[in-house]
Amino acid sequence: MNLVHVKVWGPLACFTRPELKVERVTYDVMTPSAAHNLLKAIFWKPEFDYQITEIHVLNPIEYVSITRNEIKDRQTPRQSYIAASERRTQRTTLALKDVAYVIKARIHLESHATAPVQKYTGMFMDRVERGRNFHSPYLGLREFHAYFTRPTGSERPIDVTRDLGMMLLRLNYQEDERGPFTFTRHGSDGARTVKGRAVPEYFGAHLDNGILRVPGHDHVR
């Protein structure tokens, strides 16, 4: 079987809506993109990728407003140094509090994979049970740490049904010699660094009795 699942939780989460540029405002629930990144934080190999299928919302959806000192500018290849004391500003984040989810996903092998999919599903669940990770998993923002464990099967999603609007599914990294940044591609000949861009893909999200069902990539916009 190529199915994996994990329960994740934490005191704070922010799955930022991309249409709001200055102040961060979270989606109501975890996005598939955030779930994908969290699974890769637990276990990652270039021979496979995750496709999120369902996200179960276990705790009531509650918000908290946080004001923090941040930097106005982002680091770029042309501007690697920023004087923090000169560019500091206060910004507000509307985040989620006391979140818990069960993430369900499929593991899809890449064309250059040589081992069967059962090897990777077994390795993933073993790491979940042992509490091991590739790097520290987080809930939308790196400072919002995520805890994880194997689901017991007794978890029940909340009794909430609502339309969530257009939601980010994933960032599709495409090779483009005129792209603004570089990233790593993996294939049968190993890893290579390429120039490209990230194209966001969205889908119409709907929470059905506490479950967000995620479409395949052929249902995105």
pLDDT in tens, 7-19: 999 999 999 998 8
pLDDT in tens, 168-220: 998 888 888 887 878 788 777 777 888 888 888 999 999 999 999 999 755 45
- What are the distances in angstroms from CA 167 to CA 17, 159, 175? 8, 21, 24
pLDDT in tens, 46-78: 999 999 999 999 999 999 999 876 655 554 555
The Cα 33–Cα 12 span in angstroms is 17
Q: How far is CA 189 from the centre of its chain?
A: 28
Domain ranges (residues) in the chain: 3-73+89-165+204-219
Q: How many contiguous H segments (helices) and E segments (strands) does the chain have?
A: 2, 12
Q: What is the pTM of this model?
A: 0.86
| CATH dotted code for 3-73+89-165+204-219 | 3.30.70.2660
pLDDT in tens, 120-139: 999 999 999 999 998 999 99
The Cα 167–Cα 189 span in angstroms is 35
What tokens does 180 get?
């603004």
Q: Which of 113, 174, 138 is nearest to 39 (CA)?
A: 138
pLDDT of residue 84: 47
